[in-house]
Amino acid sequence: MESSDNSLTMNPVIEIEKMSCRFGNVEAVRNLTLEVPSGSVYAFLGTNGAGKTTTIKTLLNLLQPTAGTARVFGVDSTRLGPPELARIGYVSENQQLPEKLTVQQMIDYCRALYANWDDALCRRLVERFALPMNRPIRGFSRGMKTKAALLVSLAYRPELLLMDEPFAGLDPLVRDDLVQGMLELSEQENWTVFISSHDIDEVERLADHVGMIDNGVLTLSESSDSLRTRFRRVDAIFDEGPPPTPDLFKDALSSEISGLSVRWIENHYTDDEALGARIQSHLPNCKAWSSSPLALRDAFVALTRAQRATPPAL
Amino acid sequence: MKIVLAQLKKDMRCQRGALILWVICLVLGALPYIGTTILNHSMEKSLDVLNLSEGQKLAGAVSMVAIFITCVMAALFGMFLLMPILVTQVVHEDPLMGTTAFWRTRPIPRSKLLLAKALFIGVLLLPLMAAMARDGKIGDDQFWPAMAAWIAAVAALASITPSTGAWFGYGLAFFFGKQIYSGIINQIWSHYHGPSPFFTDETLRPLATLGSFLHFNASDFYHLCYLVGFAVVFIHQYLTLRTKRSVALFIAVLAAVGVLQMLAGPSPDNSNSVIRINSSSSQTP
């Protein structure tokens, strides 16, 4: 796993320690350790089948870990009950909503479940998401169902919002609607959001912490700022002569030499000065070089590929 | 209680269509009883006032019988088809299996969900209970206790299955499994002990005494056993969500009551293997 910064250990709302989840011969999550600090928006990224949904379901006590522990609000996930669930909002593409009900009826139902249900916020969200109140949910499109689920997961101001692939199968307009709505709320609410997705572009706008999981193994967990600083795409052009030595790519996630140019993704970038010195020492015939920040999507792809090329020791 | 009522209201909203149909069947089923009660007092007078001919009276009687039969058929349809459907639907509305149920991510205590579902099923069983109360006993014709046991079986089976399809499949499997199991055990018992029953009237004398006090007969006793057994499965599944153990309990109930019935031996008229306690002996203290 890549390095994690210190802020992650402060007031964690979610603490997962050496957690494994096995289904028969398949180990969906392997030795997972991560912490989600209070007040953060944590993006949990991974490919399909990486172990994201299993992790979230374990946090909600829908599944039990086969090894290790998961704690939410300091309570072991296997002991999670109504008092903790009253503080958690959950939106998932797989959740079965009471689809025979209308939005109004679902609101009436959910209002009775939460002591701190906020009618004013609920009305605002209904307006924001433009949901028809008197139509049964089963007739809704996928995007509208997600909005309805989000509505009844936000109106009681949860301290923790767990979202499992909320953007899956949604058109860009609806995605933007959801992201905008969440960004607006994030400014007002002191909540913690744990969002799993493989729609990295959407998540990048929301997240201040990022975790990446692949084949059940956590490959990275750190703040977005640290991530943006640490990863850099570097392009260098060199004259005729010896190609760069392998030591130049010691910390690189990927490297690619094409003719007299070389491109790599720097894994532990600190500043241009240190990088320039290293390039000079390993590629003396370098004519020019440049470094640019890496998008989260590119970092994710590079990390996942690097992880798969060198599987972790068991 | 707020959560229980909200859950009950939600269930009633979700099953609105079937519930309306059920109420219509119930009203139709009750019409002959209400009709005969009212008409018994005033019919003779009314007919005299109308001065009908014998033919007209006969035609009227035939029409009444036709209406009566229609009403009874509607009631039977409501009881036998709609009630199990309603019970299965209301349990599957908030599934106890799998990881996608809405209620499992909401602050709903299992005990309150159980109470809400039991209340819903209780409302459905209310007419049965009213009929029992009207008769002043569980029932001579074995229909009402059998119906209550049947509904308990439906609810218990629904609680350990994820969908209506699975409910039907499991139901068939349990039904045929029980028949095969009963046949085998019966053969083994007959081989070693002959046709003599393990239970006799004498063995069951204390039960018969209790039965006379509570006004139930041997068949009611089996139905009561099923009712209690399936209720235990239902409650266990709701409170623990341990499906494998609940399935084992369900099978155990079927097996235990089945063995009890078989050990009582075949009845003289060969209709059912039930404990034979005739009404005169059951009434004797």
Report DSSP letters for A208-222, one per residue. Answer: SEEEEEETTEEEEEE
B9 contacts chain A (CB < 8 A) = yes
- Tell me if B106 and A113 make a contact (CB, 8 A cut-off): yes
- Dist. CA B85–CA B155, nearest whole Å: 10
Write out chain B residues lying below 8 Å of A161, CB-based: none
Q: What is the pTM of this model?
A: 0.80
Per-position b or e across A66-81, b if 16+ CB within 10 A of its CB: eebebbbbeeebeebe
For residue B1, the SS3 value is coil
- Tell me if A81 and B105 make a contact (CB, 8 A cut-off): no
Angle at Cα B117 formed by Cα B115 and Cα B122, nearest 5°?
Answer: 90
- Dist. CA B115–CA A312, nearest whole Å: 50
Give yes or no: residues A118 and A174 share one domain: yes
Give yes or no: residues A77 and A205 share one domain: yes
A-B interface: how many C-beta pairs under 8 angstroms? Answer: 59
At residue A197, the pLDDT reads: 84
Last residue of a domain, one of A177, A198, A227: A227
Asked whether the beta carbons of B216 and B145 are under 8 A apart, the reply is yes
Q: Which site among A61, A91, A106, A109 would you substitute to test the B interface, given the most B Cβ atoms closer than 10 Å to its Cβ?
A: A109
Give yes or no: residues A49 and A171 share one domain: yes
Give yes or no: residues A147 and A249 share one domain: no
Asked if residue A67 belongs to a domain, the reply is yes
Query: How far are the Cα atoms of A168, B112, B216 from residue A174, in angstroms, in the given order?
Result: 11, 36, 63
**CA A276 to chain CA mean position, Å:** 33
At residue A111, the pLDDT reads: 94
Low-confidence ranges of chain B (pLDDT < 50): 137-139, 267-285
Asked if residue A190 belongs to a domain, the reply is yes
| Amino acid type, A272 | D
Asked if residue A1 belongs to a domain, the reply is no
> Around Cβ B193, how many Cβ atoms within 10 Å?
12
Nearest to A288 by CA among A234, A229, A233, A230: A234
B94-105 confidence digits (pLDDT tens): 999 989 999 999
Give yes or no: residues A209 and A278 share one domain: no
Question: Can you read off the two tokens belonging to residue B244?
Answer: 């494998």
- Dist. CA A153–CA A146, nearest whole Å: 10
- Tell me if B100 and A97 make a contact (CB, 8 A cut-off): no
Give yes or no: residues A263 and A134 share one domain: no
Last residue of a domain, one of A199, A227, A255: A227
Asked if residue A298 belongs to a domain, the reply is no
Q: Report DSSP letters for A158-202, one per residue.
A: -SEEEEESTTTT--HHHHHHHHHHHHHHHHH---EEEEEES-HHH
Write out chain A residues lying below 8 Å of B18, CB-based: none
Give yes or no: residues A104 and A172 share one domain: yes
- Residue B275 DSSP class: -
For residue B199, the SS3 value is coil
Question: Can you read off the two tokens belonging to residue B33?
Answer: 């009883």
Distance from CA of B194 to the nearest CA of A (A): 48
Supply the range of the domain harboring residue A258.
232-293
- Dist. CA B13–CA A109, nearest whole Å: 10
Give yes or no: residues A16 and A160 share one domain: yes
At residue B263, the pLDDT reads: 65
Give yes or no: residues A275 and A153 share one domain: no
Strand order in the sheet with A88-92: A88-92, A160-164, A192-197, A41-46, A209-214, A217-223
Asked whether the beta carbons of A19 and A11 are under 8 A apart, the reply is no
Asked if residue A53 belongs to a domain, the reply is yes
Give yes or no: residues A102 and A193 share one domain: yes
- Tell me if B105 and A88 make a contact (CB, 8 A cut-off): yes
Give yes or no: residues A203 and A167 share one domain: yes
Residue A218, Cβ density class (10 Å: 0-12 exposed, 13-18 middle, ≥19 buried):
buried
- Tell me if A100 and B14 make a contact (CB, 8 A cut-off): yes
Give yes or no: residues A151 and A29 share one domain: yes
At residue B66, the pLDDT reads: 79
Asked if residue A143 belongs to a domain, the reply is yes
Nearest to A201 by CA among A297, A106, A116: A297
Last residue of a domain, one of A203, A227, A251: A227
Out of A82, A100, A108, name the one closest to residue B109 (CB). Answer: A82
Which residues does A contribute to its contact with B (CB < 8 Å)?
A: 57, 60, 62-63, 81-83, 85-86, 88, 90, 92, 94-98, 100-101, 105, 108-114
Asked if residue A272 belongs to a domain, the reply is yes
**At A146, which CATH number?**
3.40.50.300
Helix B2-14 vs helix B16-50: angle between axes, to the nearest 10 degrees? 70
Asked if residue A303 belongs to a domain, the reply is no
State which residue of chain A sits closest to B16, comparing Cα positions.
Answer: A100
Low-confidence ranges of chain A (pLDDT < 70): 1-10, 187-188, 310-314
Q: How many domains does chain A have?
A: 2
Write out chain A residues lying below 8 Å of B13, CB-based: 100-101, 105
B1 contacts chain A (CB < 8 A) = no
